[in-house]
Copies of this chain bind each other. A is one copy, B any other.
Amino acid sequence: MITLHHLEYSQSFRILWLLEELGTPYELKLYERDSKTRLAPDDYKALSPIGTAPVITDENGLVLAESNAVIDYILDAHPESPLRPAPGEGTRADYLFWFHAGVGSVMPMQFMNGILTMMKARSPALVRPIIGKATDTVREMLVAPRLKVLFDKLESDLGRNTWLAGDQLTAADISMCYSIGSADAQGRLEGRPNCQRWMEQMRATPSFQRAMEKDGRETFIFSF
């Protein structure tokens, strides 16, 4: 039996949704962020080998972090599940692309975008125009163009598929939920009707609704 250590407003929501979709038994431990720093509490950081959410543990001493590692590990125990298309299946390439691009390309750019915003916002008023110019340059030259290409492809792919890899929900959707949800929360899905349709599909999915209930927050997205 796996224990999911879920940090509120964090990427570990993916694992909560995955476990609900699988309908497999698990234990849930919920952790609140520090009210001042908004970071994970000390007991969570002590538990995670890399200090980040998610983490799962089991009674045999397993301690595993990193969203996609946790997703693959859990899916290993459910070989019959359609959430991970098997090698050779027609949806496999789309599945692999979005499953990996979510954490390997989309999230890093979104994270950097958040850091640039924070650098400007938290700088002293006197130097804010200078810091702002530097952060705007990186955003315009690097971050925004990369995010545009990724979300253009997302919009295009969701024009030919219902979900990210074919007509069924897969772990690629579950892994990408944090990135698409973040973009939606920041109003970045305007003019992207297929991405908006994906958000609606997600919200209408019973396992997502059960995960939101267990999470107990109004959103699973962290905002700075």
Contacts and interface: CB of A to CB of B under 8 A. Distances in A.
B87 A76 contact: yes
Interface string A78-90: 0100000001100
A130 interface: yes
Contacts of A62: 93
A97 B87 CA distance: 21
Given A72-B96, A96-B73, A115-B112, A150 B87 contact: no
A104 B68 contact: yes
The prevalent SS among residues of A at the interface is helix
A166 B16 CA distance: 30
Contacts of A130: 127, 130-131
A111 interface: yes
A67 B127 contact: no
Say how many copies of this protein the assembly contains.
2
Interface string A195-207: 0000000000000
A69 B50 contact: no
A41 interface: no
A113 to B, nearest CB: 11
Interface residues of A, number: 46
Given A112-B112, A130-B131, A100 B51 contact: no
Contacts of A50: 101, 105, 146, 149-150, 153
A87 B93 contact: no
A134 interface: yes
A51 B92 contact: no
Given A119-B138, A131-B134, A134-B131, A149 B51 contact: yes
Given A65-B97, A68-B100, A103-B103, 13 more contacts: A50-B153, A52-B146, A64-B93, A66-B97, A67-B100, A68-B104, A69-B96, A69-B101, A73-B93, A108-B108, A108-B111, A115-B142, A134-B134
